[in-house]
Structure 1
Amino acid sequence: MEPNLDETDLKLLKYLKTLGPDYAKLLASRFHIDLESMRSRLAYLESINFIERVEGRIVKYYHRRMKSVKHRNHTYFMIAREGDHYLRAQEADPDVPWKKPKR
């Protein structure tokens, strides 16, 4: 069964693949979407195993110039293997609405 994803969902997967784990409130502000809508998108992507919750109390960021470790205070999500494979199979690379942090 083909998942029902729109362009925003593809951008969200691309974001998580590029920048690593993040939480719903920050994702909602970056994508200019209300928090409840973002939570429902994340719940749907999690239900089809395209993203997964980050386990443990520490979140490691490898996408920055320097490795950084943060104690997590929110529920963080990261792209899962199935989501990564689905994103690679897409013909068009989604246009990203964010800039990488300057660190």
Structure 2
Amino acid sequence: MCNLNNLDIEVLKYHKQKGCDYSKSLARALNIKLCEAFEVHKKLLELGYLEKVNSKFTKYKLNNNTKIIKHRNHTYYQLSQKGKQFLKELTS
């Protein structure tokens, strides 16, 4: 398979559920240190499981149903096709 640990997989699942988000929000949600969130985002980006969101505005899920649009003040990440495929294979 690949060299992803449990935290990496949790982050991918988080992005599948929430959509795009930034490291500080991820750290709060998963109760991890901010430096860990930065590192896992960097690792998953380099491995191709995540991609940076390029638009100036972003949509994301607030409580699984409510989507809000806001101006990006941080670097936002979302699942790439590779990340989506990995999660699909993981659950099948």
Determine if the TM-score, normalized by the shorter chain, exceeds 0.5: yes
What secondary structure, in the 3-state scheme, does the structure 1 residue paired with 2:7 have?
A: helix
* TM-score in terms of structure 2 length: 0.87
Once the two structures are superposed, what CA deviation does each residue of 1:37-88 show, in whole Å capped at 9, x if it has no partner? 1111111100011000100210023675344211111100001000110111
Aligned to 1:37: 36
Compare the two structures and name the one with the higher helix fraction. 2
Equivalent position amino acid for 2:48 in 1: N
- Once the two structures are TM-superposed, the CA of residue 91 in structure 1 deviates from its matched residue by 4.5
In structure 1, distance between residues paired with 2:32 and 2:66:
30
Q: Which runs of 5+ in 2 are unaligned?
A: none
Q: Percent of pairs identical after alignment?
A: 33
Equivalent position amino acid for 1:38 in 2: A
CA RMSD, 1 decimal: 1.8
Structure 1: which 4+ aligned runs deviate by more than 2 Å? Answer: 61-68
Compare the two structures and name the one with the higher strand fraction. 2
* TM-score in terms of structure 1 length: 0.79
Structure of larger gyration radius: 1
